[in-house]
A and B are shown apart, each in its own frame.
Chain A
Amino acid sequence: MADIVFWVIASITVISAAFVVLNNQLLYSAVALLITLFGVAGLYVFLWADFIAGVQLIVYIGGILVLIIFGIMLTNRISSVRLSQTNVQQGIGAVVSIWLLILISLVISKTPWLQLEAVEPISTVNNIGVLLLTKYLLPFEAASLLLLGALIGAAVLSREGT
């Protein structure tokens, strides 16, 4: 049962990701991206990463996707211009990306991956919180500075008359 659910989620993720990059309607691409991000959150649940799955839902779907849809709305006049765009150089792009896929798949299948046994943790939040405030305290503070910089930078950049 869990296997079937896993493969359904995996195929939905990959198919909607293909829809994101192949569709000509920009708004449909954004909706397909929503489904892809949901699928990735489902994969995190299968990987026992409940906190990361929650963060994925909150930050990606609640934040980044809304920002992207706002960007689409602000940069295309809905009433006058069609919200479409065309892909260019599809042939060489397909060749390069399929070649990349084949190369990565070969590496993945040839490598004898070491898989350690593990027991499923009751909750990952406790361990993540302890690690963030002990071993990873400096990156954590650096991330807060980065977010402050991004906040100020985005506000300055998108102001009128700069």
Chain B
Amino acid sequence: MDQLNNYLFIAAALFSLGVFGVMTRRNGIAVLMGVELILNAANINFVAFSRFGGMNFDGHIFGLFVIVLAAAEAAVALAIVINIYNNLNTINVDDASSLKN
């Protein structure tokens, strides 16, 4: 628990799982969950570097901003997902391709 590497490995595992979710899931909300995992992994890295870089608080501030961005992103993304559902009656991201061609 006093080693930087442990936190970086945990964050790497969360990041890869999030990438796997974003790539394989086809439900819009499930893709959003993968994005949340990736953001959390990045946040663990910021706070860990802040703690092991002599406890300066810049990493904490950056983590706070990442959480704020995640909240805004989740709100807008869910509004878009609900809009897609109202128009197409599905939230499969492969079916929302009317901008193609």
Contacts and interface: CB of A to CB of B under 8 A. Distances in A.
B37 A36 contact: yes
Contacts of B30: 21, 26, 29, 85
Interface residues of B, number: 68
Interface of A: 2-3, 6, 10, 13-14, 17-18, 20-21, 26, 29-30, 33, 36-37, 40, 43-44, 46-49, 51-52, 55-56, 59-60, 63-64, 67-68, 70-72, 74-75, 85-90, 92-94, 96-98, 100-101, 104-105, 108-109, 113-121, 124, 127-128, 131-132, 136, 139, 143, 146-147, 149-151, 153-155, 157-158, 160, 162
Interface of B: 1, 4-10, 12-21, 23-30, 32-34, 36-37, 40, 43-44, 47-48, 50-55, 57-58, 60-61, 63-65, 67-76, 78-83, 85-86, 91
Q: List the 5 shortest-distance A-B pairs measured between CB atoms, nearest first.
A: A21-B21, A116-B54, A150-B72, A118-B55, A157-B79
